[in-house]
Amino acid sequence: MEKRNRSKNNELSFLGDSLSTIYAAKKWKHQWRLFRLIQDWPTIIGTEVARLTAPAFFRQDVLWIFVQDSAWMQHMQFIKLDLLARVNKIMTEQPVTDIRWLLQPEMPPAPERHLPQPHPVDPNQERLFQGMTEGIANQECRQALQRLWQTFASHTK
């Protein structure tokens, strides 16, 4: 059975030397490109606009951007050429040829979490925990830790 982590000469190689081959084989280059753009997005577009927009995906050399609503979509269209130039300053290896807009999909509501009903805490366990926290000098911190323990203990068996 051939070892997959060795080079052709059966010698060890540095991971950094192998990353480009791994990225090409897994086709991660496009995802890395998007990750890099997302990271730099507030710098490219400005902090305020970055809260209302986000790079969504690439389709070949076209960048698709999520926008909050149709008014922002129209605003982004007005600054498209400037934005394209700013994006291409960062995407030097594979420049973007066009930018298109897409309304931000609504996030599904978070499922409701049902906590189990609290049950009485064993008084002996509570005294033991209070004894363990006596060494905490800050009274506010000590009481907060004790409340946290009380809540945890009353919801677990």
Q: How many domains does the chain have?
A: 2
pLDDT digits (tens, 9 = 90+) for 127-146: 999 999 999 999 998 999 99
User: Does some domain include residue 64?
Assistant: yes
Portion of the chain with pLDDT greater than 70, in percent: 85
Answer yes or no: is 53 within a domain.
yes
Clarify whether residues 99 and 130 are in a common domain.
no
- Which residues constitute the domain of residue 48? 15-103
Please report the pLDDT score of residue 81 as a whole number.
95
Residues 32 and 77 reside in one and the same domain: yes
Q: What is the CATH number of the domain that holds 68?
A: 3.30.300.180
Specify whether 37 is located in the same domain as 97. yes
Does 72 lie in the same domain as 37?
yes
Is 1 part of any domain? no
Spatial separation of the C-alpha atoms in residues 154 and 132, rounded to whole Å: 18
Phi/psi at 121 (nearest 5 deg)? -95, 140
Q: Are residues 31 and 93 in the same domain?
A: yes
Using alpha carbons, list the distances in angstroms from residue 148 to 117, 134, 137, 152, 153. Answer: 16, 15, 17, 6, 9
Give helix 29-45 / helix 80-90 axis angle, nearest 10°: 120
- Residue 22 sits in the same domain as residue 85: yes
In a domain, 2, yes or no: no
> In which band, very low, low, confident or very high, does the pLDDT at 49 lie, cut at 50, 70 and 90?
very high
Q: Of 6-10, 51-55, 95-99, which gets the smallest average pLDDT?
A: 6-10
Q: Is residue 21 part of a domain?
A: yes
Kindly indicate the confidence band of residue 6, based on its pLDDT and cuts at 50, 70 and 90: very low
pLDDT band at 26 (very low <50, low <70, confident <90, very high): low
- Confirm whether 113 is domain-assigned: no
Say if residue 98 is in the same domain as residue 31: yes
For residues 49-55, average pLDDT: 92
Task: Tell me whether residue 49 is in a domain.
Answer: yes
Same domain? 96 vs 27: yes
For the stretch 71-113, pLDDT in tens is 989 999 999 999 999 999 988 888 899 999 999 888 777 777 7
If asked whether residues 64 and 96 sit together in one domain, one would say yes
- The pTM for the full model equals 0.54
The DSSP code for 13 is -
Residue 68 falls inside a structural domain: yes
